[in-house]
Structure 1
Amino acid sequence: MGRFTSQLNDETLRYLVEALDESGQAVSIYDQDDNLRYANKTYQNMFLEGYEGPFTFTEILRHGARNGVGVRIDDGDVEALIARTLPRRRSVPRKSFETDFLDGRWFWMDHTILPNGWVLTVGADITALKHNEKTLRQAHSAAVLASQTDLLTGLPNRRHIMELLDEALVASTASGSSLCVTMIDIDRFKVINDTHGHDAGDAVLRHFASVSRETLGKQESIGRMGGEEFLLILPDTSLIDAARLIEQIRQQCARGQPWNGEIVRSYSFSAGLVEAHPGDDRNTILNRADRALYAAKRQGRNRTKLGLQAGKSAESSGR
C-alpha cells in the first residue's frame, strides 16, 4: 500500500486496507504529532496528488492551497484555516462535519481521536445528496416565490403585499420613521376591457406594474391587490415625496405608447395616499387609504387624494 502502510503487517489488517481502498471512502490516520501514517487511495487522490512531502497535516493543507486541490478555503487564507483548525483538532473525542472540495465534491467527515492520540478520519462522498438538497432548496424557493407572486404582473400578490405591509408597520413603529401607503385603482378599467378586449386590459396592468417598478426604489414595494387595484408601500417617505412618486408614475401611464411589443393606450388611475399614525395596523391604515381612494374617484378620477387626520383632506390632481 505504499509508504503509509509499513506498520500494517497483519494479514487481516491488509485485507481491511485493501477493502478501504476500494470503498470510495477517504480514510487517513495521523499520529500524535500530526504526521500522516496511513492514507487510502481516495484520500491520496484528494489531498496528495503530485506531493512529495513532508507528510504533516499542516503541510498537506498548504500543498492543497498552492496547487488547487483538497478542501475549499472560503477566504483563500490557508494559514488562517490552520490557525483555526489546530486548537480544535483534538478538542473532542469524536466529531462529524461536512466539507466541500475544490473539485466540486462534498464529503461527510467522521473524525475520531484514538486512545494513543492518533487521529482517524473517514470521509463519505455525499455529493449526490448535496446536489439533491440544492435541487430541493431551489424547488422550495421557486414554490414560495410562485405562491407570493401575481402571475400576470409579476408583482407581489395580495397575500404577500399584506405581509410586507405588516412588516413595514412594525419597522416604522420600532424606528419612529415615516411610512406612507397608497391604494391605486386604474380608472375606467372595465371600459378598457369592454372596448378594446381583455388583452388590452392585461397589457395596461403589465405596463402599470413595469412603470411602477422602474420608478420606485428598492425599499419601496407595490403589489396587486386584485383586479385593477394595487397597494403601494413607501417606507421612510414623507407625504410630499410619496405624492411626487405617484405623479411620476401617472405621467408614464398617460403617454400611451408601444411597450414590450404591446400597444398600451393612454390611461389614468386614482390614488388614496395616507401616512401611518401611531397604533396603526393593516386594517386602520388600509381603511383610510381606501376612503381617500374613493374620494379621488368621486371628485373626477385621475388624481391623488391625501387622507390626513379626521376632518382634513387635500388632493393632487393629474389634470
Structure 2
Amino acid sequence: MSWQSRLPPELLWQAAAQSPLLVALFDEQDVLQYANPSFCHAFGVAEGEQISWASLMRRNHARREGSLIETEDIDTWLRQVSTRRGKLPVRSFEADLCDGRWIWMTETLLHNGWMLCQACDVTQLRHDERALRQALQRAVRDKQTDTLTQISSRSHILRLLQRDLKRLAVSGRPLCLAVLDLDHFKQINDQYGHPFGDRVLVNFAARVQRQLRRSDRFGRLGGEEFLLILPDLQPHDVTTVLTRLCEDIAQPVSLGEQPAFRYTVSIGLTLAHPDETADRVYARADRALYLAKQGGRNRVVALG
C-alpha cells in the first residue's frame, strides 16, 4: 500500500492549515482556490475568498499590504510580471512584504494547469546576511585603515601605489611619490610618553589630509613614516605644495597639556617613471628623505 493511500486527505489539509509556510492553490485561470491561514494573513485574503492573482496584486498595491509593489503604474507592472508567472514548471524567487518580512516563494505548475504556491519566511536569514555583509565591510575597512590615524594602512597605500603605477604605464601622466617622516619623533616619545606621541601622529595625519586633493592618496607606513601619492603633478609643483606643508606643520599647535607644541617633518620626493616597480620608486623617495634629514630636516628634497 502506498503512503498516498494510507494518508487520509483531511490530514493533508490540517497540516497545510497549521503550517507556518504560506500555501496557496491557483486554478488554470489563475484564480485563488485555496489559501492556508499563513498565506491569508500575509496577503490580506479572507478565508474562502476566490480572487484572481492579478486582482490580488492590484488590491495589495492599493492597500499597501501583502506584496510590496513599488510602482506607480500597476498595469505595466502586472504585464511585466505576467511574462514570467506560470511559464516554467518550477520558479523560485525572493519577495518582500509590506510588513517588512521577506519570503522565498516557489511556484509549481501542476499537471492539471493549477499552480501550487509555497513560501517560507526568510527575514531572519536576510538580517543574518546583512549582518555578515556589514561585518565583512568592517573587516575590509579595518584592514585598509590605520587604526590610530584613520588614514590608509601600510598594505592599502602600497596596493594603491601598485595600481597607480600600472595606470602610469598606460597613460604616461605624471605621478609623484613622497615619503614623510616626523623629525626627532623618538625624542618626543621619550620626553612626553607614547600616548602623547600618538596624539602627534593623529594631529599630523589630520593636518596633512586637510591640504590634499581628492585624487591624492595618503597612508601610514608605520611608526612616524607616511606615504603620499600625488597624481597629475610635476615635481616642481609638488615641491611647492610640500614646502608649504612643511611650513604649516612647523606651526605650534595645542596638544593635550602642551598649549603650543611644535614639531616638524622631513619629506623625500620623486617622480615615478613608466615600467618602474613600486620598490624602486619608493627606494628613490626614501633616499631623498635621507638627504632631507641630512640637510637639516624640516624640508623637502626631490630626486629624479
The separation in 2 between residues aligned to 1:216 and 1:77, in whole angstroms, is: 48
Post-superposition offset of 1:135 = 1.8
Q: Which residue among 101, 104, 109 is the counterpart of 1:108?
A: 104
What corresponds to 2:196 in structure 1? Answer: 200
Distance 1:105 1:190, change over 3 A: same
Task: Please name the residue that 2:285 is paired with.
Answer: 289
| Separation in structure 2 between the aligned mates of residue 105 and residue 74 of structure 1, nearest angstrom | 15
Q: Of 221, 231, 234, which aligns to 1:235?
A: 231
1:180 matched residue in structure 2: 176
Secondary structure, aligned partner of 2:29: coil
**CA spacing shift, 1:41–1:282, aligned 2, 3 Å:** same
Hey, what's the Cα distance between the residues in 1 that align with 2:24 and 2:287? Answer: 73
Q: Which amino acid aligns with 1:254?
A: A
Flag the 1:101–1:198 CA change in 2: closer, same or farther, 3 A.
same
User: Is 1:38 paired with 2:34?
Assistant: yes
Q: Deviations over 1:36-83 (max 9, x none)?
A: 222222222222268999822233223222222233346666445433
Give the whole-Å Cα distance in 2 for the aligned partners of 1:27 and 1:302: 75
**1:138 and 2:134 aligned:** yes
Partner of 1:165: 161
Aligned to 2:185: 189
Local SS of the residue matching 1:185? strand
C-alpha separation between the residues in 2 aligned to 1:193 and 1:167?
A: 35
Aligned length: 298
Aligned equivalents of 1:46, 1:262: Cα separation in 2 = 64
Taking structure 1 as the reference length, what is the TM-score of the superposition? 0.81
Task: State the partner residue of 2:294.
Answer: 298
**TM-score, normalised via structure 2 length:** 0.85
Give 5+ residue unaligned stretches, structure 1. Answer: 1-10, 309-319
Identity of aligned residues (%): 37
1:133-177 Cα shifts (integer Å, max 9, x gaps): 222222222223223332221222211211121222223334443
Which runs of structure 2 are paired with 1:7-86 in the superposition (5 Å)?
A: 12-48=8-44, 55-73=51-69, 78-86=74-82
Structure 1: distance between partners of 2:177 and 2:73: 48
Structure 2 residue 254 is matched with structure 1 residue 258: yes
Q: Indicate how the Cα distance of structure 1 residues 156 and 68 shifts in structure 2: closer, same or farther if over 3 A, else same.
A: same
Identify unmatched segments of 5+ residues in structure 2: 1-6
Q: In structure 2, what is the Cα distance between the partners aligned to 1:304 and 1:80?
A: 65
Q: CA RMSD in A?
A: 2.9
Contact 1:203–1:264 at 8 Å: present in 2 too?
A: no
Q: CA deviation at 1:241?
A: 4.8
CA distance in 2, matches of 1:32, 1:300: 89
